[in-house]
Amino acid sequence: MTFSPIRKVYQGIAARRQMFRMFDRYAQRPNRWEGDDSALYRGEWFETDQSSHDYMFEILPPLFMRGEMFAMREFLTASITSIFFTLKIDGCIRHFHGYCDLADKGSPERMRDAIIERESRPVRAMTREERLEHIWSTTHDDYRGYAGERWAMPDRGKRTVMFYTRPGGTTLKLLEDLTDAEIAAKLPVQLRYLPERQAA
């Protein structure tokens, strides 16, 4: 399970409770403390509300501040840390959180540019990957997990979600294998029928 491109992982504005849940979306991963999991987090971003942004700013003195962004002093893993952005997009001030790798020079600026590009387009749309990430982000820990020993070897360690197949019946499915209909069923109504956005 490796990710890394810059990617939006939650649709809508995450208030404080959801923001804290988003900070470690992979808390249940197997072998959590073994190896370098930087690729899981690097490039993830989502929108927050102003009060959550301000709360994080006041917790500790920032590692650095640059115009519209500040970095948290505590690192999540290796050289990955939280960067909070205040950006003017289409005339509105908005707030975002992203995980940047500070060992990669220019990472915060590239994330800022990617957020502005993603949020500036005139038509709301979502890629399949964004739909899956939103489902993962909003599913309670009791209903999401990782494929274990009963799964085929190539699938072990992949993300799973609980899916209701019939009244009273549930099954675990690999997140990546959800059909379009299953994805629609898992999304909130306001996101179900957004057009498909082509991945960059």
The answer to whether residues 109 and 135 belong to one domain is no
Q: How many CB atoms lie within 10 A of CB 122?
A: 5
50 within some domain: yes
174 within some domain: yes
Pick from 72, 94, 119: which residue ends a domain?
Answer: 119
Considering only CA atoms, which of 21, 15, 13, 116 is closest in space to residue 68?
A: 116
199 within some domain: no
* Distance in angstroms (rounded) separating the CA atoms of residues 81 and 156: 28
User: What residues contact 127, with CB distance under 8 A and at least 6 apart?
Assistant: 196, 197, 198, 199
Considering only CA atoms, which of 171, 141, 148, 147 is closest in space to residue 159?
A: 147
Question: For the whole model, what pTM was predicted?
Answer: 0.85
List the chain pLDDT tens, one digit each, 200 residues. 455 689 999 998 999 999 998 888 888 887 776 766 788 888 999 999 999 999 999 888 888 888 899 999 887 878 889 999 999 998 899 999 999 999 888 999 999 999 999 998 655 778 889 999 999 999 988 899 999 888 999 999 899 998 877 777 788 899 999 988 888 888 877 776 666 665 54
Q: How far is CA 186 from the centre of its chain?
A: 16
The answer to whether residues 16 and 86 belong to one domain is yes
